[in-house]
């Protein structure tokens, strides 16, 4: 049975599987999501996904897999984003203060016809969780992405993994602008949005909000593989970084 987009949550088509390429050679795969601010469209993913595009081995373009028919999710295609401009400089935006130390980038999508030609939805500043509001201990969140590139190949939809916030939100863990999640996550989930339901005071209803961007799994150097399981903990960079790097004044 085929699904139509009106039968699913719109947030699923905000998330896209991306393949990284060096010219015509595929290097890897990851997750990204669309973010719209002040009329400008960006693809949000991790810094380590785009890597050193100016080097000899890193990716220099992305293939973004999307849907092309709002009434039929089995119809899909892809478009390409160059990671280097004509002068060989990276096209993505890093955080204006943290730079590459923050594992989040905003890749501008300069084609004005993307939203018109493809069936995509977007996060925006209004979807960001207010970080002045603490979350309950053990807050449940969802990580939406493509673990190890796995997907519903018929409908090209991401997978939803349950997680909990394992550190104290919104404190910066170890003084860094990320928090910790407890979940079984895999490569390919890099760049996944981390979302949770939060009370919207204006509407007095529970709304899905963007908390962060999943980055990587964590481990400790003194773990004994013969005795200790992996921690099962992960880092997610705070979503407020997105607002700061897409601020026109930062560009």
SS3 call for 48: helix
**Looking at residue 11, what is its pLDDT?**
85
Same domain, 46 and 144: no
In the prediction, which pLDDT does 199 show? 66
Examine the fold and report which residue of 97, 123, 149 is the final residue of a domain before the chain moves on: 123
| pLDDT range class, residue 231, cuts 50, 70, 90 | confident
Closest by CA to 35, choosing from 104, 110, 124, is 124
In a domain, 250, yes or no: no
What confidence tens digit (pLDDT) does each residue in 44-96 have? 999 999 986 555 678 999 999 999 988 888 999 999 999 999 998 999 999 99
Instruction: Tell me whether residue 130 is in a domain.
Output: yes
56 lies in some domain: yes
Averaged pLDDT score across all residues of the chain: 90
CA 112 to chain centre: 21
Cis ω on the peptide bond leading into residue 101 (within 30° of 0)? no
- If we measure between CA atoms, which residue out of 93, 94, 98, 95 comes closest to residue 176? 98
Q: Is residue 13 part of a domain?
A: yes
Instruction: Give me 64's structure tokens.
Output: 């973004």
192, part of any domain: yes
| Residue range 108-119: mean pLDDT, rounded | 90
pLDDT tens-place string over residues 132-174: 988 999 999 999 999 999 998 999 999 999 999 999 999 999 9
Task: Give the total number of structural domains in the chain.
Answer: 2
Same-domain pairing of 144 and 187 = yes
Could you tell me if 64 and 141 lie in one domain? no
DSSP strands (E only) in the chain = 15-22, 25-37, 40-45, 61-67, 76-82, 105-108, 140-145, 159-165, 178-182, 193-200, 205-218, 233-238
The pLDDT score that the predictor gives to residue 232 is 84
Predicted confidence at residue 189, as pLDDT, reads 96
Residue 187: beta bridge partners?
Answer: none
One domain for residues 9 and 114? yes
- Among residues 101, 123, 145, which one ends one of the domains? 123
Q: What is the pLDDT of residues 11-58, one digit of tens each?
A: 899 999 999 999 999 999 999 999 999 999 999 999 999 986 555 678
Q: Which domain holds residue 48?
A: 5-123
- pLDDT of amino acid 227: 75
Cα–Cα distance list, 115 to 31, 59, 81 (Å)? 19, 24, 14
Question: Could you say which DSSP state residue 3 is in?
Answer: P
User: Residue 212 is part of a domain; what is its CATH number?
Assistant: 2.40.10.10
Distance, CA of 187 to CA of 239 (rounded, Å):
20
Q: Are residues 111 and 157 in the same domain?
A: no
Among the candidates 95, 123, 151, a domain finishes at: 123
134 and 227 in a single domain? The answer is yes
């Amino acid at each position: 049975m085929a699904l139509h987009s009106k039968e699913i949550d719109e947030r699923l088509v905000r998330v896209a599987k991306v393949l990284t390429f060096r010219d015509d050679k595929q290097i890897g795969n990851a997750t990204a999501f669309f973010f719209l601010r002040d009329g400008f469209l960006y693809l949000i993913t991790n810094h380590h996904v785009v890597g050193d595009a100016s080097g000899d081995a890193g990716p220099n373009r992305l293939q973004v897999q999307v849907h092309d028919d709002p009434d039929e999710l089995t119809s899909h295609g892809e478009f390409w984003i160059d990671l280097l401009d004509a002068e060989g400089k990276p096209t993505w935006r890093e955080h204006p203060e943290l730079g590459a130390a923050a594992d989040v980038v905003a890749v501008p999508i300069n084609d004005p016809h993307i939203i018109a030609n493809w069936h995509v939805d977007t996060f925006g500043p209004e979807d960001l969780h207010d970080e002045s509001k603490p979350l309950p201990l053990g807050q449940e969140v969802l990580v939406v992405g493509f673990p190890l590139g796995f997907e519903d190949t018929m409908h090209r939809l991401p997978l939803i993994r349950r997680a909990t916030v394992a550190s104290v939100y919104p404190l910066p863990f170890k003084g860094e602008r990320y928090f910790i999640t407890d979940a079984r996550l895999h490569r390919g989930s890099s760049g996944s949005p981390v979302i949770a339901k939060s009370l919207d005071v204006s509407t007095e209803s529970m709304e899905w909000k963007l908390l962060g961007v999943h980055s990587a799994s964590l481990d400790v150097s003194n773990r004994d593989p013969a005795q200790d399981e992996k921690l099962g903990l992960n880092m997610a960079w705070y979503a407020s970084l997105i607002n700061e790097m897409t601020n026109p004044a930062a560009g």
